[in-house]
Structure 1
Amino acid sequence: MSARKIYTNGRIFTVNENRDWADTVVIEGNKIVYVGDKTGADTFWDSGAEVLDLKGKMMLPGFIDGHCHPVMASHYLCGVYLQVEWGVEECLAEIKKFVGENPDNDTYFGIGYAEWIFDENGPKKELLDEICADKPMMILGSSAHEAWVNTKALELAGITKDTPDPIPGFHYFHRDAAGNPTGHLLEMGPQNMIMEQVNFFDPDKIEEALAKASDEYAAMGVTAVCDMGAPEFVMKAYFETVPAMMENGTYKQRMTGCGRMVSDKSDVDIVFPRLLDYKTRYDTDNFRINFLKIINDGTLETRSAALSKPYDEDGSMVEPLFNRQELAELGLKAAEAGLDINVHGIGDEAISGTLAMAKAIRQAGYDDCRIVNSHCDYVKDEELELFGKYNVIANTTCVWHYGNPDMEKVIGDRQNHTFRLKSMIKGGCRMGQGSDFPVDEFGREPLKGIEMGCSRQLFDHPELPVLKPYEEKLSVDDGIASYTINNAYQMHMEDKLGSIEAGKYADLVILEKNIFEVPVSEIHKVKVCETIMDGKTVYKAGDSQ
């Protein structure tokens, strides 16, 4: 194969600063060397070039999943996978089916139930005991911020009424009136307490699951991912398996990441020194560790997001893990060390903490530190413009942007004031998108995210409600930028990725149709024809994978 490839006769949206269109792109090795019209590419047209006719198809920069957990997913998806639209009985039937089909398993693990199908007391261990009482079982909710376990799992982990909660009111075991754990676990602390004692994962399946997920990403047009953290038990795969797979070509995306997350204040003294080491050891354009990831609250679905006013459903309130001063001090420490920062902030009180941290970092002169607030569900009106003022990247998952009456029961009318990304963009904010895989709920395809950001309605369901406020619908251009140049900026690689420009890496995706010209409701149906990463085709429609 020639080292020079000429893609021509296409609808090429460059996503450069001027949002220029082109019809021809020339690649030399793994870099783009020319972008423009066919005539301007005359000097590259020789007998040694491989010419590929796009036949009017659309070319974009390769999609970047700006917030996902593929290493964690390779563990979590080895078990039963539930669908977020299922009710309790459907989930139980699928769990029972999985156990019946895998009678030799020593443990059972799963993920995916919608947290809102249970009331504020959550799921009960007895429901799982009826399916399997003699082997430990753990099922994560769709957000992975809560879990459901059977009695055997609690017993093997030594969890009793006398076991203290990791962080009372935030990371805790739901208990009955007598103080006994009910089988409902809130946040990652209790999950980790059980996982440290019970091995739910088969190591032989991990690399296979990573490769499968990478192939699926390539088929979606994804050429880079931002892995935003994992628990301790997956670190071997994170820092040994993934780099080895990249070396042999079985992992087909670039990755930036953080390793272990800070999900408890006690994690800081463990995570921070490691990060300084990782930052030096893992610093290539294919695999780079440069983020401090901080979990500062939970989720609205699990009633663990930090809101400034009580939950409508039960009147409860949750405080952020770090108060504003503590978060600012940690953020300044990270910025001084040359790290970028990603904060999980879903409730308005947690997001206020991210913005206070960003203000402190900017006032200290650390202008190049990339600060990300992940998810951005509910932001105070007066703080929408602060994302632009303090250059905080708002990373969200647009497949969550749909009308959901069930959530109105939990947070009332505040549900109709969530995900106001258009207002934040108007205020100068960069918006990034990520799937949060494996807790993506409705799929991690970027084209679904682009569509639902524009429609604020669940794809393929025109009968379901549109998420208010309607004026927060994004443009297609917003959606494309969120999966390309804005995520490249988040990765600190906007000079190398995210747009089709000479000198950047040849990370590209070819679509069968121009998504500016199809109805918004049809965007998710547009097929990916080819994905090119580092100048090499890693997916082509019709090829056996």
Structure 2
Amino acid sequence: MTQKAELVFKNGFIYTADKNRSTAEAVAIADSKFVFIGSSADVEAYIDSNTEVIDLNGQLVMPSFFEGHAHVSKSVVNHFGCNLFGINTLEDYISALKEFLKEHPDFPAIRGNGWLEAVFPGTGPKKEDLDKVSTEIPIVCTSETLHSVWANSKALEMAGITKDTPDPKNGKIHRNEDGSPSGCLRESAQDLVFNVLPDFTVEQYKVGILAYQELAHKYGFNGVYDPWLDHGSNAIEAFKELEKENKLTMRYRGAYWINPERGLDQVEELTASRANDCNGELFKINGVKFFVDGIIESVTACLLEPYVEAEGKEAGYKGHPIWEAEPLNNMLAALDKEGFQLHSHAMGDAAVRATLDAVKFTQKQNGKRDARHTVTHAGLIDPNDIPRFKELGVVAMLNTYWAQIDDLYFMNGSFVGMDRADKFYPVNSLIKAGALVCSASDYPITAIPNPFIGIEIGVTRTAPDNYHPWIFDYSNSVFHKAHWPEEKASLPDMIDAFTINQACACFLEDETGSIEVGKSADMIVVDKNITEIPAEDIGTATVQMTLFKGKKV
């Protein structure tokens, strides 16, 4: 007898994202899984008086999206701090912070998040401007990249940062002519102020996680990878408590951050933490996050050839690696031996190569396994390294949201040369080379993580009309040109990059990522059929309904 369905969708355009990229008209769902995919006529056999039937009237159904790299736990500052995303002038930053302080006069400190690096190119923002808000309490604002901090005089004083404070390893304290700190801290120097601020509470993290979850469902996500979790932190405890309380309605995967200043003793610690943090169904940690370099915006990415412009750096400066080759190789090998999946931040071409070299070393040491180690961002890749992703089985976790001409493109071009800026994000080359290519928003760095925007830019390589936060004057025709047109990806490839490829990157391809019988009924209903509309309109599509395990969320 045919199993009767709890929920049926019919008369639609079902894009399955299966290996054949097949389409259908109807799906039936029972016991949280797809039990039928096919024609509207044949689905009738799965319907009885208890079945909810939804007539799609031609609407598009797709697998739900999976966010491959988003800082869920870091985004809590958006709810208990001053959200600066969407603002792009110094005056407006100061006004927003003053208003926040007025609304929260009892706060012992102010945290902010989201100032644009492009507003303060080079040496970054100044403490004197934050002092206009307050000199009585610390004010610490993180850039939208999460790689720079803007601090007022009180925060610098509490952290003990003076003209005599040396730059920490892998960090930069920007200074005035007299050597005093100017107010901008890069990379590891950020920790000098973070270490004197209290962590958010478990309850605060829970509020932030649930707010992210609501946002994620709005954009059709049913899974997310959080790549920056400190073992033993309140954030991890918040995730675990929410799962026990049955409040998680999507899959969460994560990675511990590993400290480059410490040695292999961390491996034992992380292995012990994993025993406590990888037992849930929806929340699991089995990854480790490496920062191999910084970012081009702060001139901390590692390049194979010198920067064209790097104020205050030595001649021939190529960026300083956060991990030297030997400790990187040894740490990756030790963690790989324990079965961890490695998630490496590498923005410059030298950092990408160093990571691939470390994976190769690891495979020689431990033997090759289905590890699915990941390089995230990979803004610049030497052409000789592109085929190595497939050869080594390394996932390319890119950010197609950024593969466009915008103000950051011009700022970064001033640092590395426009010839190299023209070669950011070789998406199609990686796809054609057979790499497993995914795309992620890096939320909250991309403040609105709409995957249709990421798909559109991946296909057009052009800044879309309805979302261009890194462009200050969109009327300028230069921003309507395609960036590196040869790297435009096909629409099916971009859909895969947000769905089934992401599931593969998290070892979930047998469970989710495509619409197939037996898989979890994770899907979205979309107001426009993105396979039929012009590519430049893909970003305007909106999710009408998101289902997780067959339930509307």
TM-score (norm 2): 0.90
Relative to structure 1, is the Cα distance of residues 505 and 276 closer, same or farther in structure 2, using a 3 angstrom cutoff?
farther
Relative to structure 1, is the Cα distance of residues 200 and 277 closer, same or farther in structure 2, using a 3 angstrom cutoff?
closer
Q: Which of residues 433, 440, 444 is equivalent to 1:438?
A: 444
Query: What is the match of residue 468 of structure 2?
Result: none
In 1, distance between residues paired with 2:523 and 2:482? 32
In 2, distance between residues paired with 1:215 and 1:532? 13
Asked if the contact 1:215/1:252 (under 8 Å) is kept, the reply is no
Query: What is the match of residue 194 of structure 1?
Result: 193
Asked if the contact 2:291/2:346 (under 8 Å) is kept, the reply is yes
Query: What is the match of residue 254 of structure 2?
Result: 257
Mean CA deviation greater in 337-346 or 400-409: 400-409
Query: What secondary structure, in the 3-state scheme, does the structure 2 residue paired with 1:67 have?
Result: coil
Query: What secondary structure, in the 3-state scheme, does the structure 2 residue paired with 1:422 have?
Result: helix
Asked if the contact 2:174/2:184 (under 8 Å) is kept, the reply is yes
In 2, distance between residues paired with 1:110 and 1:268? 34
1:368 Cα deviation (Å)?
0.6
Query: What secondary structure, in the 3-state scheme, does the structure 2 residue paired with 1:408 have?
Result: helix
1:23 Cα deviation (Å)?
1.3
Query: What secondary structure, in the 3-state scheme, does the structure 2 residue paired with 1:228 have?
Result: strand
Relative to structure 1, is the Cα distance of residues 525 and 165 closer, same or farther in structure 2, using a 3 angstrom cutoff?
same
Query: What secondary structure, in the 3-state scheme, does the structure 1 residue paired with 2:80 have?
Result: coil
Query: What secondary structure, in the 3-state scheme, does the structure 1 residue paired with 2:361 have?
Result: helix
Q: Which of residues 116, 124, 139 is equivalent to 1:137?
A: 139
Relative to structure 1, is the Cα distance of residues 75 and 235 closer, same or farther in structure 2, using a 3 angstrom cutoff?
farther
Query: What is the match of residue 430 of structure 2?
Result: 424
Asked if the contact 1:402/1:465 (under 8 Å) is kept, the reply is no
Query: What is the match of residue 297 of structure 2?
Result: 301
Asked if the contact 2:153/2:183 (under 8 Å) is kept, the reply is yes
| Aligned alpha-carbon RMSD (Å) | 2.2
Query: What is the match of residue 174 of structure 2?
Result: 174
Asked if the contact 2:69/2:440 (under 8 Å) is kept, the reply is yes
2:457 maps to 1:456: no
What whole-Å deviation, never above 9, does each CA across 1:378-405 have from its counterpart, x for those lacking one?
0112112211222211111221111132
Query: What is the match of residue 240 of structure 2?
Result: 243
What whole-Å deviation, never above 9, does each CA across 1:211-230 have from its counterpart, x for those lacking one?
12211111110000011113
In 2, distance between residues paired with 1:174 and 1:288? 38
Query: What is the match of residue 230 of structure 1?
Result: 229
Relative to structure 1, is the Cα distance of residues 244 and 353 closer, same or farther in structure 2, using a 3 angstrom cutoff?
same
Query: What is the match of residue 266 of structure 1?
Result: 262
Query: What is the match of residue 381 of structure 2?
Result: 379
What whole-Å deviation, never above 9, does each CA across 1:189-221 have from its counterpart, x for those lacking one?
322232222237466543222212211111110
Query: What secondary structure, in the 3-state scheme, does the structure 1 residue paired with 2:191 have?
Result: helix
Query: What is the match of residue 337 of structure 2?
Result: 336
What whole-Å deviation, never above 9, does each CA across 1:75-130 have from its counterpart, x for those lacking one?
35522222366133332332233233333322111111121322422222111112
What whole-Å deviation, never above 9, does each CA across 1:312-336 have from its counterpart, x for those lacking one?
1225332222233432322222222
Partner amino acid for 1:237?
Answer: A
In 2, distance between residues paired with 1:267 and 1:505? 41
In 2, distance between residues paired with 1:294 and 1:160? 29
1:445 Cα deviation (Å)?
1.2
1:256 Cα deviation (Å)?
0.6
Partner amino acid for 2:161?
Answer: I
Partner amino acid for 1:298?
Answer: G
Asked if the contact 2:264/2:334 (under 8 Å) is kept, the reply is no
Relative to structure 1, is the Cα distance of residues 263 and 14 closer, same or farther in structure 2, using a 3 angstrom cutoff?
same
Mean CA deviation greater in 473-482 or 215-224: 473-482
Mean CA deviation greater in 176-185 or 334-343: 176-185
What whole-Å deviation, never above 9, does each CA across 1:384-438 have from its counterpart, x for those lacking one?
2211222211111221111132222122121111001100110001111111112
Mean CA deviation greater in 504-513 or 308-317: 308-317
* TM alignment of 1:88-167, pairs within 5 A: 88-167=90-169
Over 4 Å off, 4+ runs: 200-204
Query: What secondary structure, in the 3-state scheme, does the structure 2 residue paired with 1:83 have?
Result: coil
Query: What is the match of residue 471 of structure 2?
Result: none
In 2, distance between residues paired with 1:3 and 1:282? 33
Give aligned-pair identity as a percent. Answer: 30
How many residues matched?
530
Runs of 5+ in structure 2 lacking a partner? 466-473
Partner amino acid for 1:318?
Answer: G
What whole-Å deviation, never above 9, does each CA across 1:138-193 have from its counterpart, x for those lacking one?
111110101010110011122223334331xx223223344322211111x32223
